[in-house]
Amino acid sequence: VGIAREVAALTGGKLSIPEIATVENTQTAKNLTLKISETQACPAYIGTVVENIKIAPSPEWLQQRLRSAGVRPINNVVDITNYVLLERGQPLHAFDKNRLESLSGEEQLIMGVRFAKTGETLKTLDGNNRNLSPQNLLITANNHPVALAGVMGGEATEVYEGTQSLVLEAALFDSVVIRRSSRSLGLRSEASGRYERGVNRAELEIACHRALSLIQELAAGVIVQQQISDYRPDISTWSHSIDLRLDKINQVLGPIELGQETGELQPEDVEKILTALGCELVKTEENTWNVTVPPYRYRDLEREIDLIEEIARLYGYDKFCDTLPEKSQAGYLSLDQELIRRLRGYLRAEGLTELMQYSLVKPGEDKQIVLSNPLFAEYSALRTDLISGLITAFQYNLEQGNGSLNGFEIGRIFWREEEGLQEAEVLAGIIGGDITSGKWSRGGKEKAITWFEAKGILESVFKELKLLVEFQPENRDSRLHPGRTASLWIKGNRLGTFGQIHPQLRREKDLPEAVYVFQLDLDTLLDAWDHDDLLIPKFSSYSTYPASDRDLAFFAPMKVTVCELEKVINKAGKGLLSFVELFDEYRGENVPAGQRSLAFRLVYRASDRTLTENEIEPVHNQVRSALVEKFGVNLRS
C-alpha cells in the first residue's frame, strides 16, 4: 500500500487500494477476555475468535504474490497473516484456539500481555527453546507464555492442518520494548523489524479487518467474538496540521531549471505534490497554507521542513540548479589548528609519544558529569582531567612489558559547576622513562629521570614557543608530591601544573621511583603565543662582537625562588645583559641558617660594538644593588 501511494504520487496515476470487505461478526461466543497489564508496552490489542476454519493451501494468486516477495507459502491462514504484513506493514499472529485452551487447561480464555519472569522458557516457531528474561514481552494464555510479543509465536499454539478455530492477534507494541526483547535473545523476524521501526498506529483496525475478510473468503471462517484493548491517544493527534510558506520552500530548495532559464516553485506545484501525497491544503493567506497530514504519515511529517523535503523529492532533485563556485580555493588550516600542529611537533621532538584515551571513565569523583544511559558502568562518567588516565596508561604499559611511558595527550575535560556544565581543552603529559639513547655503559639498566630533567623537557617546548613561563611552588593536588609540585604561570595567568607523582600513589600503582606529570590549559597557552612570530618569522641578526661574562655569588633566603631572582637580574641588566644562568647551589656548612648559596653567570653583549669595562661595570653593579634592595641577599662576589 505504501509503495502504491508513492507510485501514484510520482506518476500522477490513479490510486487503487483493495477495499476492505465488510466483516460479519456473529458475537455468539463469550469465552475470550483480555488482560493487558503492560499498557505502555502494548497500547492496543485486538483479539478475534474465528470458528469453522478449513486449513488448505492458499489460492495460486496469493502464493504467487508471497513468492514474489520472498515468502514461502504454508497454508491459507498463515499466508493471509504474512500477506497483510507485506500489504499494510502490520504484523499479525494466528493462534490455534483449541491448543490455547488445552495449554491453559480452561475453556475460559484470558489473553494477556506481560513481561517474562526470570527462569521462564518458551519454545518458539523455529523449534528453539528460549530462556526468557524480564526484558522479554510475552503474550500469555491464562498467564502461560504462548508467544514472544512482536517477535515470534510459540510452537505449542501454532496453526496446523487440523486447526478448526483460531484467535487472531492484531496489536501495537512499543518499538524500544521489542528491540530490547529481540536483541536479548539474538532473534530477529519480519514482525520485530517492523515493530522496531514503528508501525502505523492509525490503521491497526484496517489491517485487522483486511485479514479477517480474507480468512472469511479463503478459509470459510466465522467470526464469533472480538475483544479490543485500546490505550492509544485520541485519534485526532494522528492527523495534525502544519503551516507551510512558499518563501521558505524556495529559500531552502533554491531555484529550479526551466530550460535555458531558472525560476522558482509555484503555488500550483506545491499543491499538486502535497495533494498527491494525501495531504489536505487550506490557503490561509497568499502563498501560505495550513497542511493537514494524513494519519498514515503522522510519524514522519511533523514539521514544515519535512513537507519541504517531500516536495523536493517528488518534484525531482535533478530539476534543481546545482551551482558550483566559479573558482575553487585551496584549503588552509585555521590559526589554532596550525598552532596545535606545531605544538604537537615540538612535544614529539622532545621524545614524547602522542596518546589518545576515552573521554569516559569510572564515576566517583567530585564535580563529575555522570551519563544517564551508559553502555558500561566502567565508562559512565566524563573525565575531569587527563592526568588520571595517563597514570593508568603508564601502569598498563609497565604491566604489558612495554617499559616506562613518555607521552602527551591533547583532549577535552568536563566538570559540573553551580552555573552549569563546563568543558575545556587541555594538554597533559607523563614522563617517567629513561630519556638517554644508550644504556650499555650502565649494564642495560634504566636511569631514573630527575625533576629538573623532566622540567627541562617542558622548558624546551616553551622555548620553541618563545614563551616565558614561571614555575611557582604549589601543593594543591593530592596525587602529586607536596614538595615537588609547581604551578605554571604565563603573563599573570595560571597555565597549569607540573609535579612528581606522590610516593604513596606510586607504591599503590607499582610505578618507578620518579614519574612526572603535567597538565596545561590549551586556551591559555594559545592566547599567550605570539601569533605574528609564527605566521611571519622575524630574523634577528647575530652579534659579531665578543661577549663578556661575570659571575655573581650570594646568600639568598630559601623562600626566594631562582625564577624571582632571574626576573630581577634581567630587569636590572636590560639593554646589555643577554644571558643569565644558575650554575651552582650549595646548602650546608658555612651557609647561614634559612639561606642557600647561589652562583649565577651573567653574559653581557652588544650587537654593534665590543663592550668596555667602563660600560659593563655600572650595569653589573646595578644588578647587584637590585638584588640587595629587593631580596636582601648577602653578596659574596
Per-residue pLDDT, averaged over 172-181, amounts to 94
pLDDT-derived band of residue 237, with 50, 70 and 90 as boundaries? low
40 versus 543: the higher-pLDDT residue is 40
Per-residue pLDDT, averaged over 167-195, amounts to 94
Distance CA 637, CA 624 (A): 9
Distance CA 590, CA 588 (A): 7
Model pLDDT, residue 588: 87
What's the Cα-to-Cα distance from 588 to each of 127, 181, 376, 452, 559, rounded to whole Å? 88, 76, 57, 21, 16
Specify burial of residue 127 (Cβ count, 10 A radius: 0-12, 13-18, 19+).
exposed
Q: How many residues comprise the chain?
A: 637
Residue 576 has pLDDT above 60, yes or no: yes
Kindly state the cell numbers that stand for 207.
Answer: 489491517
Residue 440 has pLDDT above 70, yes or no: no
Name the 3-class secondary structure at 119: coil
Kindly state the cell numbers that stand for 488.
Answer: 605554571
Model pLDDT, residue 146: 94
Q: Report pLDDT digits (tens) over 118-159.
A: 999 999 999 999 999 999 999 999 999 999 999 999 999 999
Closest-CA residue to 429 (of 461, 402, 474)? 461
pLDDT-derived band of residue 235, with 50, 70 and 90 as boundaries? low
What's the Cα-to-Cα distance from 518 to each of 9, 76, 397, 410, 471, rounded to whole Å? 64, 74, 19, 12, 12
Kindly state the cell numbers that stand for 109.
Answer: 480464555
Specify burial of residue 3 (Cβ count, 10 A radius: 0-12, 13-18, 19+).
exposed
- 76 phi/psi in degrees, rounded to 5: -60, -40
Least confident of 37-41, 111-115, 325-329: 325-329
Vertex 174 angle, CA 168 and 176, to 5°:
135
Distance CA 275, CA 287 (A): 16
Model pLDDT, residue 44: 94
Residue 236 has pLDDT above 60, yes or no: no
Kindly state the cell numbers that stand for 414.
Answer: 568536563
Specify burial of residue 292 (Cβ count, 10 A radius: 0-12, 13-18, 19+).
middle
Which residue carries 530462556 as its cell? 131
Residue 106 has pLDDT above 90, yes or no: no
pLDDT-derived band of residue 206, with 50, 70 and 90 as boundaries? very high
Model pLDDT, residue 15: 87
Q: Report pLDDT digits (tens) over 281-298.
A: 999 988 999 999 998 888
Closest-CA residue to 594 (of 624, 626, 562, 557)? 557
Q: Where are the alpha helices (DSSP H) in 529-600?
A: 531-535, 562-572
The phi-psi region of residue 30 (left if phi > 0; otherwise alpha if psi is between -120 and 50; otherwise beta) is alpha
Model pLDDT, residue 444: 67
Q: Report pLDDT digits (tens) over 270-281.
A: 999 999 999 999
Model pLDDT, residue 448: 79
Tally the C-alpha atoms within 13 A of residue 342's C-alpha that lie toward its C-beta. Answer: 19
Model pLDDT, residue 402: 85
Q: What is the mean pLDDT of the chain?
A: 90
Which residues face 290 on adjacent strands? 243, 282
The 8 Å CB, 24+ separation contacts for 15-21 are 18/87, 18/210, 20/206, 20/209, 20/210, 20/213, 21/213, 21/216, 21/217
Per-residue pLDDT, averaged over 367-396, amounts to 91
User: Is residue 23 a contact partner of residue 209, using CB atoms and an 8 Å limit?
Assistant: yes
Residue 383 has pLDDT above 80, yes or no: yes
Supply the DSSP string of 288-350, one letter for each residue.
EEEEEPPGGGTTT--SHHHHHHHHHHHH-GGGB-----SS-------HHHHHHHHHHHHHHHT
319 versus 104: the higher-pLDDT residue is 319
pLDDT-derived band of residue 103, with 50, 70 and 90 as boundaries? confident
pLDDT-derived band of residue 449, with 50, 70 and 90 as boundaries? confident
pLDDT-derived band of residue 175, with 50, 70 and 90 as boundaries? very high
Distance CA 242, CA 423 (A): 38
Percent residues over pLDDT 70 in the chain: 97
Kindly state the cell numbers that stand for 135.
Answer: 526484558
Distance CA 79, CA 66 (A): 8
Percent residues over pLDDT 90 in the chain: 65
Neighbours of 358 (CB within 10 A): 11
Neighbours of 6 (CB within 10 A): 14
Closest-CA residue to 40 (of 89, 113, 90, 92)? 113
Model pLDDT, residue 534: 63
Q: Report pLDDT digits (tens) over 453-499.
A: 999 999 999 998 888 898 988 998 899 999 899 999 998 899 999 99
Distance CA 233, CA 573 (A): 84
Per-residue pLDDT, averaged over 229-244, amounts to 80
pLDDT-derived band of residue 86, with 50, 70 and 90 as boundaries? very high
Model pLDDT, residue 21: 77
pTM exceeds 0.85 for this model: no
Distance CA 81, CA 87 (A): 10
